[in-house]
Amino acid sequence: MDERTLLTDSDELLSGNRQQQDETRLWTRRNALALTAGFLAAGAVPARAAYARVAAPRANVVVVSKRNRVMELRSGEQLLKRYRVHLGFQPTGQKVMSGDGRTPEGQYFIDRRNARSDFYLSLGISYPNAVDTARARSLGVQPGGDIMIHGGPRRAADKSKDDWTAGCIAVTDQEIEEIWSMVPTGTPVVIFA
């Protein structure tokens, strides 16, 4: 073997080691990025108690009486459940515009579900309907939106208030679990004064 052969063999050996080091470094970088992304994703979702769906009869209408602070789940004429509710911080009167603190009155339906709600679980109400939108437009204001039936409250100061939402209908977290199981998307919601 001459000197040239030794240099060629050692260059190939070094070259192979560099490639293996680069692959190891790349693999480690990928794992670190994947692990970091996983931690960030896990941290983005607030920790909650596990919600276990309960077998319950299905409601085909939700009826809310603002005056009595009562929400009923009904199947035809049969009353399935009745709940005490909390309303918007300005509960008297029809909701007219965004930020007025009133709970709307009228005929709506459940149009969405949010299992990652700030208020545990929430069922979206289809407010504003065509009448609400026309009323707001005639007054030159925005009708608002994001009216929900949800759990809560989260702030300690709200726990002692009768009506604390921004216009939503609130029940306890335990009650919203039951409601979530009994009220499918598309269920009509009638809200009376």
Catalytic residue flag (residue 168): yes
Structure confidence at residue 186 (pLDDT): 96
Percent of the chain with pLDDT over 70: 68
Of the residues 150, 165, 182, 191, only one is catalytic, namely: 150
Of residues 53 and 2, more confidently modeled = 53
Catalytic residue flag (residue 68): no
Contact 70, 84 (CB under 8 A): yes
The tens digit of pLDDT for each residue in 76-107 reads: 999 999 999 999 998 888 898 898 989 999 99
Please give the CATH architecture assigned to the domain spanning 61-192. Beta Barrel (2.40)
Structure confidence at residue 54 (pLDDT): 61
pTM of the predicted model, to two decimals? 0.69
Of the residues 71, 168, 170, 183, only one is catalytic, namely: 168
Residue type, 148: M
Return the domain boundaries, the chain.
1-45, 61-192
| Mean pLDDT rounded to a whole number for the chain | 80
In terms of C-beta distances under 8 Å and separation of at least 24 residues, what long-range contacts does 132-141 make, across chains too?
Answer: 132/95, 132/104, 132/106, 135/94, 135/96, 136/96, 136/97, 139/96, 139/97, 141/96, 141/97, 141/98
The tens digit of pLDDT for each residue in 42-83 reads: 554 444 545 556 667 899 999 999 999 999 999 999 999 999
